[in-house]
Structure 1
Amino acid sequence: MRVYNAKIIEPKWQKIWSENKYAEPKDDYTLPKKYILSMFPYPSGRLHMGHVRNYSIGDALSRFWRLKGYNVLQPIGFDSFGMPAENAAIKHGTHPKKWTYENIDYMSHELEILGFSFSKNRRLATSDPLYTKWEQEFFIKMYEKGLVYQKSAVVNWCEHDQTVLANEQVIEGKCWRCDHEVVQKEMPGYYLKIKDYADELLTCLDALKEKWPNQVLTMQENWIGKSYGAQLFFSFDETSAAKTGLKGFNVFTTRPDTIFGASFTALAPEHEVVKAVMEADLLLPEQKSMLEKIINLSPRERSQMDKEGVDLGLFVIHPFTGAKLPVWCANFVLIEYGGGAIMSVPAGDERDFDFASKYNLPILNIFKNCAIPHTEKNAILENSGFLDGLDYEAATAKILAELEAKNIGKKVVQYKLRDWGISRQRYWGAPVPMVRCPSCGLVPEALENLPVTLPDDVEITGEGSPLAKHPTWKHCKCPKCGKDALRECDTMDTFVDSSWYFARFASDEKTWPGTAFDKKSVDYWMSVDHYIGGIEHAILHLLYARFFQKVLRDLGYLRDSEPFSHLLTQGMVTKDGAKMSKSKGNTVDPDDIIEKYGADTARLFILFAAPPAKELEWNDSAVDGAYKFISRLYDRASKAKKCGAIPALNHASLNEAEKYARLKVYEAMKKGSEVYENSFAFNTLIAACMEACNALNAQENAEIWAEGYYIILALLEPIIPHVCAELSAELFGGANLRDFAKLEVKNEVFVSETLNLAVTINGKRRAEISVSVDASDGDILSTAKTECAKWLEGKEIIKEIIVPKKLVNIVIKG
């Protein structure tokens, strides 16, 4: 028995691939291309099995298309800015930069020993100064185009550490580090106008429907949240106007037809009217306390609590009935949607109904013959003045016309999507390239001064912004007037870093650092043909990347409107029924698997255990089973005839076992085209190859073995490349991998043949019939009865027995 030794085979071929620059894309732009990209990792220190699954999928596709003669770009990099580096600096007493780049070196080595064919020439880290340079240029260009602005917004704030916290750093309302209460604080920050692209982001989803998962498309649609409705103005009564100094406020509603059911209005805690009431000290202490409690909760926390509110002691005038409607502040109204003000119709909205019931507010029934609350659009209106007797569509059209005629409202479109706040009070991120000048105000840094890089001599304490505390870094000259000025000390959200990296990868590395993108190469490679990553990135990362693509298109950097033609979302890797995580103690280190079994075993298991989009449960015995299959594949190669090309076989002269073996091999070949080009269900291809190997093992023809291995090694090379390359070189001089694109399915192996079956009646042979090997039992019996009609005439058939491929026995009575 030949012993498979991954520790010898795998380093050998990794060295060969590196020396031959196998993974590097070609400069020949006349070739058909495939751009295959897996979402790049954060350099946390070690790869995990989720990474292995992601990159095994991408590498299988990349290797397949190279075998088919395509020019393939498969790059990798590191999403290397971010909060974890600062947390590690605090915990381990190291510098974020040192921690990050040491991890990049280690993870790069892990990627290599797994045999992933990533381009080395186009590798990057988002914390590289050159990457920061172009990101800052994009920011400045967006600022000049009016797509960047500053505003104050509510953020998570830890007073003890004097810092803004990300949502994931708030644990049960307290700071993750010091355990002090987190409050909602209004602070200035930089925002990108993603809402300006909301409609295009939504409509462009139609072009992705064929090649993106429906679940992801739905999540994007819901996040953008386009809705049609009306904006109308509610005027304060005289007393309320005097109290607030305001005339009234606009509300947004998707159901203007229900306006006669409005019995109160509700405002978000951040609304200007609520602020005016607070500043005028118009509330009781307990009411102020309630408002402060609501304000200090995040929108997510508010959505999880019971409906609560405060009567602001104000009234607005109903624009059609003249009735006075009380004004409340309610925890379920969000400032980000519709301006933070709603007209509340308890009869037509469950939230309004619950709130009105809790606080004994009027509930006006405006729907004919309907129980309330009635939230569907199929009712006829009553108690609605000039809208009585109308259905939804007719009433909506009429009320919109009335609002516009009275100049108190209009038809509008609203989006749930909010502008993207990118400011972070952190060190390890790309600095915002803005300068504050006493004379010129807020101005962008000059392009020739980019990149604005981070100072290395900082102390990371977790308390406040290290950049703001640095004694010299923030001091600079105004790029406009030359006077002393101060740098902006905020850094950018790391989602910005990952929103354009795919375009940088597509640019010829020889043009870096002279330009952000090389137009010729980017136009050739983009868009990404296959983008692979976890479902957890289905909303924000993909939405931001799509937004950046459109912005960079409009700024003249890129050509296409969408960055990713096809999206494959892989399921998570679990163990013992839970997602692998260090906190659960259920992680599996890829290094341990490689050390024990080899990289090919890890890759085979990860692609065989489940379809890519499904959750994968770790199974130690299945890993061992994958290793045993590779060992058998390696051992049985000795049964194949060594030859320089696929053997020429006379199918008609083969025996049954040999024909069956060829059938299973070519079935696997047909499965390969389907899997690599359409379904990506690698588990089914691997299963087909295993069946083919079993069929080969049931016969002894060395040429059948050679043909089978010629095809099977080519099919499995993208999945287990090291052992397949080794066996291909041994048996065929590597010819099968070079000539894979020329392989064709031989139809002769699928041609149905005939079987000769004996027909017996009560055990006595009476005839012989010829039937197709594909004939059904019904067809066989029908043919047998026809041939034996004279013996069956007038007889009662008791039983019919078919012995496969041998005989038919008919049992009769009498």
Structure 2
Amino acid sequence: MLGGPTREVEDRWQRYWAEHGTFRARDDGARPRRYLLTMFPYPSGDLHMGHAEVFALEDVVARYWRLRGADVLNPIGWDSFGLPAENAAIRRGEHPAVFTETNIATQAGTARRYGVSFDWSRRLETHRPEYYRWTQWLFLRLLDRGLAYRATAPVNWCPTDRTVLANEQVVGGRCERCGAVVVRRELTQWFVRVTAYADRLLDDMDALEGAWPARVLTMQRNWVGRSTGARVRFAVVPDDGPRAGEVGSPGAGARPDHVEVFTTRPDTLPGVTFVAVAPDGPLAGALCAPERADALARHREAALASGEIERRNAQRPSAGTFLGAWVRHPVTGERLPVWAADHVLPGYGTGAVMGVPAHDDRDARFAAAHGLPAGSGETWAGVEEAVARLEADGTGERATSYRLRDWLVSRQRYWGAPVPVVHCPGCGVVPVPDDELPVRLPDLAGDDLLPRGRSPLASPAADAWRRVACPRCGGDAERDPDTLDTFVDSSWYFLRYCSLGDDGPPDDVPFRPEDARRWMPAAQYVGGVEHAILHLLYSRFVTKFLHDEGWVDVVEPFATLLNQGQVRHGGRAMSKSLGNGVDLGEQLDRYGADAVRLAMVFAGPPQDDVDWADVDPAAMRRFCARVLRLADSVAAAGRTTSHTEEVGAVVPGSRAHALRRATHRTVHDAQDLLDRGAFNVVVARVMELVTAARRAADAGPAPGEPAAPHAAAVREAAEAVAVLLGLFAPYTAEEAWQRLGHEPSVADAGWPPVDPALLAVDEVEAAVQVDGKVRARVRVPADVDDAVLRDLALATGGVARATDGREVVRVVVRAPRVVNVVTRPVTTTP
């Protein structure tokens, strides 16, 4: 065992935990409940090093809460619908279900070997009909309340994956998954009206301040993007000529008689020199002169390729195209040119903005780039006065605008939950009755799974599945051929966990409200910041909706949020294509689970990135071996107790007393460090305690010091090491705990008790010098603060006498031993 726990040891403890239900949530009310949640993995291959980090970190929290006496719910599941599995299955000639379930089995085996304290009795997978039945049920509740609707809209279309993408899935004009250039298409799609909850999504974040990372709250607030101000109407200058929009420009429509803009600064209206509209919005086509149509078309394509997130970047240069149209200033009557500009988004406000270069840096850069006037810096008296003036003139009114758009939830792919409605020629869109859920996927295979510009569920191979009787009139109807985005699956999975376990899932409800009442909100959610916007926003929305429906008591699903850093290698993100990927399974085979876990946690604070090239799992394996050797040496010394007469007989000032002080200080400090998320510091402190215990054991008692109390102090330290190490390296900890003569599991040992008397800080004597000469000595605590020691030193009489008539230049503090006051003669001005 000199190399740390072997595979046989890992397997033995896995069997023990499974057979004894060590990590099952009891849910019996005997202890306070704490719900810990990690963002569940997607089954694309085996677990990777990112999973290794997040699992190691969340398991520290789960095991710590158990030691502190909590009943911990720590479930595991798989977000198992979606494009990656479907595409990979198609490439391999496999059915997506086969590919997905094979990967889930592989990942589950790796997670078990990694020693994570999951409650496996609450496992779920979103592709199972018993789960997606309730995803469909949720969609139908939204539809019934008018929050789900079908509309034709321009969407991002990936020609390779052949499906619609959300704006956030387009990076640099390309599909974030496959890298294909995204194009725009007009399609009829399903949307969820998250905009109806915009104010609540914003306002409820006030309660999350200090509990969620500040940058995540900022990202969410910016995504919703609530702004208050005014709508201002700029009349279009009459022109009898045809418009580009009237000769076939996509989505244009008839030429408007005015352009309405939203502004947060109506008081800057005197400085307006131009109006800008979104190049990909309907206004641009409706206003564009025929001779400018080709230029607008090129601009439109370039803007769509850029992606919405890039266009929101205020520092990015904004391309512009003059549309050959003019509007009239509502106050001055001046003619103003209308431009298409990248920085204007069709979904924000009205899709048009007023350009005020004298008051807005982005407008100033745009004006300078395109030769537009800088305008006047004049303003009206204030926003309120400006709104009142616009309303009095009939050219505007007070308004609130949002960046948030409704959630596009339909996908034209096979591997997802079918949209649970039918289309009837007579009745229109008809929901599938609840007692007919789930609408199961048809069993397609081979080429029938391929998307060909439409969903495979719309292909002839799915005719028998698609053609059904209308639930309302009984006539011929067809199922909807789209499937739901996987964000719908993951928007409520944390509620399902609350009602899983030994009794199995409920068959009549998605989850039992009384179960959610006991466990929700999740006390801590752990996962990557890459999900800071959409997944968290949609989960918050669904929780609020279900609260309004009476299913849950909470309005926020996650009380606290921990975002782990990224795992990198050689300064770059890990990637198989870059040749710097690291396989978790290979690392477990080489070093063992405990060494990998310790290396991950010890690399730095949880929020920091980890570069695998800079960590040393081999050193952690050697450390685990040191812990086991310490346990063996204590066991060989004979059985002693740690908290009775023998430790109580330790003589103050002895080696044993010093070790006891180190043990109790480590346990005491670990609690505060763990509460603050300083997991890596706790590992360092445990390492220091192992060294102290080893030295004490090797040195033995001092002459005249009783042997039994000394041995008891060493045992006490070794036991504390085993308990604390159980948070990070569970196999080593279980082995050490058992070798020390205790019944397993160390996970049930409870938090080690701390004797306050052993935490008292020793006093030391500090020398107080003036210009290098000792002028006084003061008794101070050994952990005295620099500022406190400085004040004490300057207040002593010796310093006061030695500095009389001299100027103090600086005070050098070397706590807790030395303070040196540097002086010079006082100079006087003649």
The answer, yes or no, to whether TM exceeds 0.5 is: yes
Residues 773 and 526 of structure 1: CA distance in aligned 2, closer, same or farther (over 3 Å)? closer
1:89 offset after TM fit, Å? 2.0
Instruction: Answer whether contact 2:191 2:409 (CA < 8 A) is retained.
Output: yes
Task: Output the TM-score relative to the length of structure 2.
Answer: 0.84
1:791 corresponds to: none
How far the C-alpha of 1:307 sits from its partner, in A, is: 3.3
Tell me if 1:657 matches 2:655. Answer: yes
In 2 relative to 1, CA 344–423 (structure 1 residues): closer, same or farther, beyond 3 Å? Answer: same
1:540 aligns with 2:539: no
- Residue 269 (structure 2) pairs with residue 259 (structure 1): yes
Specify whether residues 703 and 179 from structure 1 end up closer, same or farther in structure 2 by C-alpha distance, changes over 3 A only. closer
Q: Which residues in structure 2 correspond to 1:381-780 (within 5 Å)? A: 381=379, 387=380, 390=381, 395-458=382-445, 459-464=448-453, 465-469=455-459, 470-509=462-501, 510=503, 511-619=505-613, 622-640=616-634, 641-643=638-640, 646-648=643-645, 649-650=647-648, 653=651, 656-676=654-674, 678-699=675-696, 700=700, 701-734=710-743, 737=746, 740-741=749-750, 743-751=752-760, 774=782
CA offset digits 1:377-411 (Å, max 9, x no partner): xxxx3xxxxx3xx3xxxx22211111222333211
Q: Structure 2: 5+ residue runs without aligned partners? A: 244-253, 701-709, 767-776, 799-814, 818-830
For residues 443 and 306 of structure 1, do their structure 2 counterparts lie closer, same or farther at Cα, with a shift above 3 Å needed? same
Name the residue aligned to 2:202: 202
Aligned to 2:345: 334
| Secondary structure, aligned partner of 2:463 | coil
1:53 matched to 2:42: no
Deviation at 1:293, TM superposition (A): 3.2
Pick aligned residue for 1:293 from 255, 276, 301: 301
Label 1:401 to 1:722 Cα distance change in 2 as closer, same or farther (>3 A): same
- Measured against aligned partners, the alpha-carbon deviations of 1:718-758 in whole angstroms (never above 9, x if no partner) come to 2111221222122232389477446321133234567899x
Partner of 1:320: 331
Q: Which residue of 2 aligns with 1:64?
A: 64
SS of equivalent residue, structure 2 residue 740: helix
CA deviation after TM superposition for structure 1 residue 326, in Å? 2.8
Q: Distance in 2 between matches of 1:97 and 1:240?
A: 61
Correspondence 1:273 to 2:283: yes
Aligned counterparts of 1:8 and 1:307: Cα–Cα separation in 2: 62
| TM-score when normalising by structure 1 | 0.85
Name whichever of 264-273 and 478-487 sits farther off. 264-273
Deviates more, 1:665-674 or 1:642-651: 642-651
8 Å CA contact retained: 1:665, 1:689: no
With over 3 angstroms needed to count, the CA separation of the structure-2 counterparts of 1:41 and 1:547, relative to structure 1, is same
Shift of the 240–57 alpha-carbon distance from structure 1 to 2, 3 Å rule, reads: farther
CA positional deviation for 1:285: 5.5
More divergent stretch after superposition (638-647 vs 16-25) = 638-647
Shift of 1:612: 0.9
**For the structure 1 residues 548 and 168, does the alpha-carbon distance in structure 2 shift closer, same or farther, using more than 3 Å as the test?**
closer
SS of corresponding position for 1:482: coil
Question: Which moves more between the two structures, 319-328 or 428-437?
Answer: 319-328
Amino acid across the alignment from 1:252: F
Question: What is the SS of the residue equivalent to 2:419?
Answer: coil
Q: The residue matched to 1:632 in structure 2 has which SS?
A: helix
8 Å CA contact retained: 1:152, 1:188: yes
Asked whether the equivalents of residues 317 and 366 of structure 2 are also in contact (C-alpha less than 8 Å), the reply is: no
Contact 1:240 1:314 in 2 (8 A): no
Following superposition, the deviation at residue 306 of structure 1 comes to 4.6
Unmatched segments (≥5 aa) in structure 1: 368-380, 382-386, 758-768, 788-803, 807-814
Instruction: Give the letter for the 1:230 counterpart.
Output: A
Letter in 2 for 1:215: R
8 Å Cα contact 2:641/2:712 also seen in 1: no
Residues 212 and 561, structure 2, Cα contact 8 Å, conserved in 1: yes
Q: What is the one-letter code of the residue matched to 1:136?
A: Q
C-alpha distance 570-739 of structure 1, shift in aligned 2 (>3 A) = closer
Q: Compared with structure 1, are the counterparts of its residues 773 and 513 closer, same or farther at alpha carbon in structure 2 (3 Å cutoff)?
A: same
Give the structure 2 partner of residue 282 of structure 1.
Answer: 290
Q: Does residue 219 of structure 1 match 2:219?
A: yes
Shift of 1:775: 9.5
- Indicate conservation of the 8 Å contact 2:115/2:730, yes or no: yes
Contact 1:267–1:330 (Cα < 8 Å) also in 2: yes
Aligned pair in 2 of structure 1 residues 621, 732: CA closer, same or farther (>3 Å)? Answer: same
Structure 1 pair 308–441 and aligned structure 2 pair: CA distance change class (3 A): same
> What SS does the aligned partner of 2:77 have?
strand
Pick closer, same or farther for the CA change 1:4–1:293 going to 2, 3 Å: closer
Quote the residue 1:91 is aligned against.
Answer: 91
* Aligned equivalents of 2:89, 2:430: Cα separation in 1: 32
CA-to-aligned-CA distance 1:499-536 (integer Å, 9 cap, x gap): 11111111244352221111221100111011111121
- Asked if 1 retains the 8 angstrom alpha-carbon contact of 2:223 and 2:403, the reply is yes
Please report how far the alpha carbon of residue 282 of structure 1 lies from its aligned counterpart in structure 2 after TM superposition: 3.2
* Preserved contact between residue 141 and residue 555 of structure 1 (Cα < 8 Å): no
Alignment partner, residue 822 of structure 2: none
- Contact in 1 for aligned 2:27/2:33 (Cα 8 Å): no
Change (3 A) 1:118 1:227: same
Contact 1:157 1:184 in 2 (8 A): yes
**C-alpha separation between the residues in 2 aligned to 1:176 and 1:541?**
16
Distance between the aligned counterparts of 1:117 and 1:468, measured in 2? 44
Cα separation, 1, equivalents of 2:311 and 2:63 = 49
For residue 18 of structure 1, report the CA deviation from its aligned partner: 0.4
RMSD: 3.3
Q: Distance in 1 between matches of 2:656 and 2:144?
A: 72
**Counterpart in the other structure of 1:812:** none
Secondary structure in 1 aligned to 2:110? helix
Q: Is the 8 A contact 2:242 2:290 kept in 1?
A: no
Q: Secondary structure at the match of 2:290?
A: coil
1:660/1:736 CA distance change after superposition, 3 Å: farther
Q: Structure 1 pair 438/644, CA: closer, same or farther in 2 (3 Å)?
A: farther
Once the two structures are overlaid, the 10-residue window that deviates more, 238-247 or 118-127, is 238-247
Moved more, 138-147 or 770-779: 770-779
Give the secondary-structure state (helix, strand or coil) at the position aligned to 2:422.
Answer: strand
Assess if the C-alpha contact under 8 Å between 1:148 and 1:190 holds in 2.
yes
8 Å CA contact 1:34–1:70 kept in 2: the answer is yes
Change (3 A) 1:287 1:623: closer
Q: CA deviation at 1:335?
A: 0.6
Task: Report deviation, 1:171.
Answer: 8.2
Preserved contact between residue 658 and residue 696 of structure 1 (Cα < 8 Å): no
Aligned AA for 1:331? D
Residue matched to 1:25: 25
Which of 321, 326, 343 lines up with 2:354 in the alignment? 343
Distance 1:175 1:654 in 2: 68
- Superposed counterparts of 1:98-177, under 5 Å: 98-157=98-157, 163-164=163-164
Distance 1:556 1:188, change over 3 A: same
Structure 2 CA distance for partners of 1:355 and 1:609, relative to 1, 3 Å = closer
Cα deviation for residue 592 of structure 1 reads 1.9
Q: How far does residue 9 in structure 1 lie from its aligned partner after superposition?
A: 2.1
